[in-house]
Amino acid sequence: MNKKGHVLNAILLALGLGVILSVDPRTFQPNDVESYLSIAEKIGQLSLPIVLGALFPDVDTAFGKHRKTLHNLPVLVTFLVFPLIFNNLHFVWIGVATHYVLDMVGSKRGIALFYPLSPQEYDLPTGVATSSKYADPVTLVVTVAELGVLAGVHYYLFSLDVSLAAAAASFSAIL
């Protein structure tokens, strides 16, 4: 996927996730201005880290091997753990993760998920050429699917709007 696709995906994801994380469908008050202010605040909080995270993996076009050096699970784990240790860069991992998903689902070439252990690139057969006229529709479909998964996790498994430590604790509580 090209840069435009990644940014489009990240912005839409931040908008959708901002709603998911600040709206509890069971208690939402549609007439309360406060509800909309908290959605706007959450979108503001999420958008920059997610967009930056979505741009990060393609830095390996300049440093290292493209679709390998910064397109792998160890890099994603680093961004998941970093906020726990240093208490910053929250939500950047969502941008990195969505970049991987879009590269795997929405483009012809895969990514080397287990690099540097293996240079094998993984892909799904759904890919379209990044120059194809279907690139934007595919990006939209992928974004909607991701929001569905994130909403499911957030509403039914554990809150995504907390530190990973709290998420891990609540996750282990339901096991």
Q: Tell which one of 8, 103, 143, 158 touches Zn ion (CB under 5 A).
A: 103
**Angle (nearest 5°) at CA 51 between 145 and 36:** 75
Q: Closer to Zn ion by CB, 58 or 146: give it.
A: 58
Please select the residue that binds Zn ion; options are 16, 53, 58, 98, rule is CB under 5 A. Answer: 58
Torsion of CA 5, 75, 148, 10, to 10 degrees: -30
Q: Count interface residues toward Zn ion (CB under 5 A).
A: 3
Span near Zn ion by CB under 5 A; candidates 31-39, 73-81, 96-104, 144-152: 96-104
Q: What are phi and psi of 86, to 5 degrees?
A: -110, -5
Count of CA atoms in the C-beta half-sphere (13 A) of 137: 6
Give DSSP secondary structure letters for 76-102: HHHHHHHHHHHS--TTHHHHHHHHHHH
| Shortest distance, position 111 Cβ to Zn ion, whole Å | 7
In whole angstroms, the minimum distance from the beta carbon of 126 to Zn ion comes to 16
Stretch that binds Zn ion, among 48-56, 99-107, 130-138, 160-168 (CB under 5 A): 99-107
Q: Is 60 one of the binding residues for Zn ion (CB under 5 A)?
A: no
Would you call 111 helix, strand, or coil by DSSP?
strand
- Residues near Zn ion, by CB under 5 A: 57-58, 103
